[in-house]
With several copies, the nearest count.
Chain A
Amino acid sequence: MNVNFLGKQLKSPTVLASGILGNSFDILERVHGAGCGIVTMKSIGPAPRDGHNNPTVIDLGHGLINAVGLPTPGFRHMDEEWEDLEKRDFPLSASIYGGSVSEFVEVAKFVAEKGPDFIELNISCPNSAKHGMLFGTNPESSFDVVSAVKRVTGQIPVIPKLTPQALSIGEIAKACEEAGADALCAINTAGPGMLIDIESRKPILAYKKGGLSGQMIRPIAVRCVYEICQQTTLPVIGLGGVTTGRDAVEMIMAGATLVGVGSAVKSRGIDVFSTITRELAQWLEDHGTTLEEIRGAAHG
């Protein structure tokens, strides 16, 4: 099921969500082999960071809650991985974050030289008090970071990743479009939420709060993608709770060009990418239609 996205030919409209598995070349390659169109690396930050102590990820049954806390070797300390990645034969998106516009720019510039196919800007991670949250909830700061990054990334398409916490995600999307974003990715985790263990009387996540993902956030993600597509004409990677081919259809009807998959790796395994692609293709065939024809159909 070939799809063209920003000039790249993809073998599937599915995208591996950042922070899911994408910690090393070998596993990224495996995910691509499992039918994924674009694999996204775990978000890379300006300086080495361990992230939070465990528990960091808990299965809620209808989704996950996580506060991994943006662990990163730091962009300067990944030489071996960059070397491996240069030899890749699959479309790669490098997700990056920073605590300020200048940090974003510093990371983006360095990463762009490594030649990923796309650069995703994580302006939406809720798990770190300092990093990113502010950018993605405010149109001006979203504009600032995107336009600054665009200046140093040359031909590599830049894809801001948005948060459902924004009061108007459509406005953030518009600001990103005006700043020169090439596409958008929505959504990062929702909430945040908190679990308290009532026996020990303590919050379960070491960071106390964590972002929600998986099936339970799908309605939020669909709404966000729908609103973004009302406000911009950028292609959108629709992400959040997508678990089946039918979910992918829903996301595409909301206006998405590609569908991201994260938490569903838990319930359906790494093959979820080929599974969703197959289910999607089957659905299109059964309904005698195409990806292009159903894209944004719910806006009609």
Chain B
Amino acid sequence: MEKKPVMLKIDQVQCHNENYATLFFNHGIEFIPGQFVMLWLPEIDEKPYTVSFHSKERFGVTVEAKGRFSQRAVALKPGDLVGVRGPFGNGFSFDAHANVCFVAGGCGIAPLAPMIESVPGSKTIIQGARSDDYLLFKDRFSGSDVHYCTDDGSFGQKGFVTDALADAMANNMFDMVYTCGPEVMMKKVFDLCEANSVRCQISLERYMRCGFGVCGACVCGKERVCVDGPVFESQQIRTLDDFNKKALLKSGKAVTLNDYFSWRSA
């Protein structure tokens, strides 16, 4: 079957703060938490975004305004058309009756949110951002054990999510830690998990083209982030040499993550 972008009308735009907005579409998609869609703005570009809200007939995508594409995306209005391909990727996996912890940095809460909502039973959520204003979905997970951290202490605990995770691990035997956020943060989370023999799932980002495992733009080590990922488990992460080290630019050039995350600002 043809898988061209399907043009969907934006039903609602929820502005979380001046940099974050969620675009909602009244459209059913088959979806596993952690999967992403490719959003196309005609004549601009097409980029991958995690599905951050999902119900039978509706889904949402939360965008952080950073560059050329995302700034336009957050400025869209209800009624505007956006092309959608997907969902793509493997999504998170889950064992029933597990005691799980979610660790999100900034926009990293986006892929975790539908997972949090779909996992039954006891769960710990650790969510961080630079400041109060950047904390997404604040009332969304009421009922769960939620810990907030901000870099500036403007909401919740002052400090990093990794500190909060270390604390939580001291008091809990987690079966699985799910994390998404800046790669350096995920690396620290993973290291903590390894030290405590806790399994971990991370969600990676790389430059993407096809979204279905053919073009090789998104490779991280020997894995294709678009189909082998974006979610990777401890066992894979251990052999994922490029994790928190290397990424390919649009040209295919391999660079450090620092260079990768700044090239586009040029």
Residues of chain A touching chain B, judged by Cβ–Cβ distance below 8 Å, are: 19-24, 26-27, 29-30, 42, 48-51, 53-61, 64, 66, 68, 71-74, 77-78, 80-81, 195, 197, 199-200, 202, 204, 206, 262-263, 265-266, 269-270
Contact = CB atoms under 8 A, between A and B. Distances in A.
B43 interface: yes
Contacts of A206: 43, 45-46
Contact of B209 (A30, A54, A266): A54
B250 A59 contact: no
Contacts of A265: 213-214
A258 to B, nearest CB: 20
A204 B42 CA distance: 7
A204 B44 CA distance: 11
B219 interface: yes
B228 to A, nearest CB: 9
Interface of B: 1-5, 7, 38, 40, 42-47, 81, 83, 85, 208-217, 219, 221-222, 224, 241-242, 248-254
Given A59-B3, A195-B4, A265-B213, 12 more contacts: A21-B216, A23-B252, A26-B242, A48-B253, A54-B40, A57-B209, A58-B4, A59-B212, A68-B209, A197-B83, A200-B42, A206-B43
7 closest Cβ pairs, A-B complex:
A54-B46, A73-B253, A57-B210, A199-B7, A21-B216, A23-B216, A202-B42
Contacts of B85: 55, 58
Contacts of A42: 216, 252
Given A50-B251, A72-B251, A73-B252, A56 B209 contact: yes
B219 A48 contact: no
A90 to B, nearest CB: 13
B251 A71 contact: yes
B213 A71 contact: no
Contacts of B250: 50-51, 71
B266 to A, nearest CB: 11
The DSSP consensus for interface residues of chain B is loop
A202 B43 contact: yes
Given A55-B40, A58-B3, A197-B7, A81 B213 contact: no
Contacts of A78: 253
Contacts of B38: 54-55
B251 A24 contact: no
25 contacts: A20-B216, A21-B219, A24-B219, A26-B221, A55-B5, A55-B85, A56-B209, A56-B215, A57-B209, A57-B215, A59-B3, A59-B210, A60-B2, A61-B1, A64-B210, A71-B250, A77-B253, A81-B254, A195-B4, A197-B83, A200-B83, A206-B46, A266-B214, A269-B213, A270-B213
A61 B3 contact: yes
B252 A64 contact: no
Contacts of B212: 57, 59, 266
Contact of A22 (B216, B224, B253): B216
Contacts of B214: 20-21, 57, 64, 262-263, 265-266
A55 B251 CA distance: 15
A158 B7 CA distance: 39
Contact of B251 (A30, A48, A59): A48
Nearest to A49: B251
Most chain B CB atoms below 10 A, which of A26, A29, A51, A66: A26
A136 to B, nearest CB: 22
Contacts of B4: 58, 60, 195, 197, 204
A30 B222 contact: yes
Contact of A53 (B45, B217, B219, B251): B45
Contacts of B43: 202, 206
B215 A20 contact: yes
Contacts of A263: 214
Contacts of A73: 249, 251-254
A200 B46 CA distance: 14
A215 to B, nearest CB: 9
Nearest to A50: B250
A72 B217 CA distance: 11
B210 A56 contact: yes
Nearest to B8: A199
Contacts of B45: 53-54, 206
Nearest to B248: A23
